Amino acid sequence: MLAEGVDLHLHCRYVVHHDLCWNPSTLEQRSGRVDRIGCLAERVRQPINLYLPYVAATQDEKMFRVVRDRERWFQIVMGERYEVDEAATDRRSMRIQLPEAVRAELALKLHP
C-alpha cells in the first residue's frame, strides 16, 4: 500500500485489491488513485483493470459477495438502472433452501 500523494495514475492501469474492505467506497477510493484525468489508461487508450481476488469457500469469499452486493445496492440508490437475469436468479435461489420452520415464521398471515 502506497501513501497518499503518490501519483499512481501516471504509471498504472491495474488495481489489485488484496485486502477487501467491508465498505465499497473504500475500494472505489483506491481505484480512483489510478482513474484520474491524464491517467496512463487515458493516454494509451486502454482500460483500467480492477481485480478483487478471494479464496473460494472461505470468509474471504463471503466478504467479496457482501461488498459486491453493497455496491449494487448503492448503484440502485444512486439511480442506476437495475436489470435482473431471471435464469441466474432462479439458479441462485435454488442453491440454499430456507428451512420450513423459518419459512413459516416469515410468512405473512393475512387472515384475522
Residue 2 covered by a domain:
no
Q: Please report the sign of the dihedral spanned by the C-alpha atoms of residue 81, residue 87, residue 88, residue 89.
A: positive
Asked whether residue 1 is domain-assigned, the answer is no
pLDDT at 60 exceeding the cut of 60: yes
List the domain range (segments joined by +) for residue 80: 8-106
Task: Tell me the pLDDT of the chain averaged across its residues.
Answer: 80
Structure-model confidence comparison of residues 68 and 91, the more confident one: 68
Q: Rounded CA gap, 103 and 43, in Å? A: 55
Does residue 111 sit within a domain? Answer: no
Most confidently modeled of 39-53, 73-87, 97-111? Answer: 39-53
Examine residue 112 and state whether it is found in any structural domain, yes or no. Answer: no
pLDDT of residue 47: 93
pLDDT in tens, 3-48: 567 788 999 999 988 888 888 888 888 888 899 999 999 999 999 9
Instruction: Name the domain count of the chain.
Output: 1
- Extract the C-alpha cell encoding 34: 489510478
In 3-state terms, what secondary structure has residue 76?
helix
